[in-house]
A and B are shown apart, each in its own frame.
Chain A
Amino acid sequence: MVKTGESSARSGDESSLIKRLQAGEQAAFDEAVRAYTPSMLLVARFYLDPASAEDAVQEVWIKVVQAIQSFEGRASLKTWLHRIVANQAKDGLRKAGREIAMDFSEPLEPALDSRFRTRGTWSEPPRLKTTESAEQWLESGALKACLDKHLTALPEQHRSALMLYEAHQHKSEDVCNILGVSASNLRVILHRARQRIFLMVETFRETGKC
């Protein structure tokens, strides 16, 4: 999977949006709020409970009204906004005296790991067809609903990191910088989430159950 460089390849649309934000244009802020708020909430929810995360993002947007004047464009607008949210949320965390504990040392989901013999060969190999595409998986509304359920069940911090990388297409070093996770922890989060999805689809295809 190749991620596009955000800082080096700013689109014309983004440059024009930044100029309009710096000019204090209300419509530009409306556009930016709609485009960036979902991923900003993901960053905030990595550190805070949902209600505090919403408050933090709201406060960040008010700060951005002034701070956008000093935006120098060294990172993409999205990365810049995410860094401000992370700092704001970390402040909130310090005030509340909470700490984030993250340690993911096991690279395999237990349900997958148990499918290998002790010498490392498969005892229960994958049963899904290798010819199926992701699009075929997504054709089923029931399977999509099952995916939603499984993603909702992920720990909040895993979901934030995962979605910033996969759905919002952040580069891994940006996700690590913004959320303060190590590259190896991020790799494990991504890998285990993909395993969970694979195991879920396999079960769903065989039993029709989520």
Chain B
Amino acid sequence: MLMCRDLAVVASDYIDGELSPGQRLSVKVHLMMCRHCRALVNNLRNSATVLQKHSSQQVNEDYFRRVKLNIAQALQDSRDKNS
């Protein structure tokens, strides 16, 4: 029988649909009986949503500008070579 700790180990796989049909059924049966594990799964699902919405990377404008300048130069070099 699936214990609460076993469920905690596979909770993200359950959320992401990565479990086999048999494992999925065991998790569902356990969740029907255990409100603590339902709370855990709900909270981990919220955590995944929070991470998806998080703007992950701040890039400063100066860096963007440098990259764009280098590209402009590379495009010009390429045109010069082809003309």
For A180-198 the 0/1 string (1 means CB < 8 A from B) is 0000000100110111011
**Complex partner residue of B71 from A62, A119, A151, A202, CB under 8 angstroms:** A62
- Contact check, B64 vs A37: say whether CB atoms are below 8 A apart: yes
Q: Name the B residues within 8 Å of A128 (CB-CB).
A: 39, 43
- Contact check, B66 vs A120: say whether CB atoms are below 8 A apart: no
Q: Which residue of B lies closest to A45 (CB)?
A: B57
- Contact check, A197 vs B74: say whether CB atoms are below 8 A apart: no
The CA of A187 and the CA of B66, in the complex, are separated in Å by 36
Q: Which residue of B lies closest to A197 (CB)?
A: B47
A residues contacting the other copy or chain, number (CB 8 A)? 58
- Contact check, B50 vs A147: say whether CB atoms are below 8 A apart: yes
Q: Name the B residues within 8 Å of A190 (CB-CB).
A: 12, 16, 48
B residues contacting the other copy or chain, number (CB 8 A)? 48
- Contact check, B3 vs A1: say whether CB atoms are below 8 A apart: no
User: Assuming A58-B70, A187-B13, is B51 touching A167 (CB within 8 A)?
Assistant: yes
A116-B5, A147-B50, A195-B44 known; 10 other A-B pairs, CB under 8 Å? A37-B59, A42-B57, A61-B71, A108-B9, A120-B3, A187-B12, A187-B13, A190-B12, A194-B47, A198-B47
| Chain B residues in the interface with A (C-beta under 8 A) | 3-6, 8-9, 11-13, 15-18, 35-40, 42-57, 59, 63-64, 66-68, 70-72, 74-75, 78-79
| Chain A residues in the interface with B (C-beta under 8 A) | 1-2, 24, 26, 29-30, 33-34, 37-39, 41-42, 54, 57-58, 61-62, 65-66, 107-108, 112-113, 116, 119-122, 125-126, 128, 130, 132-134, 137-138, 147-148, 151, 159, 162-163, 166-169, 187, 190-191, 193-195, 197-198, 201-202
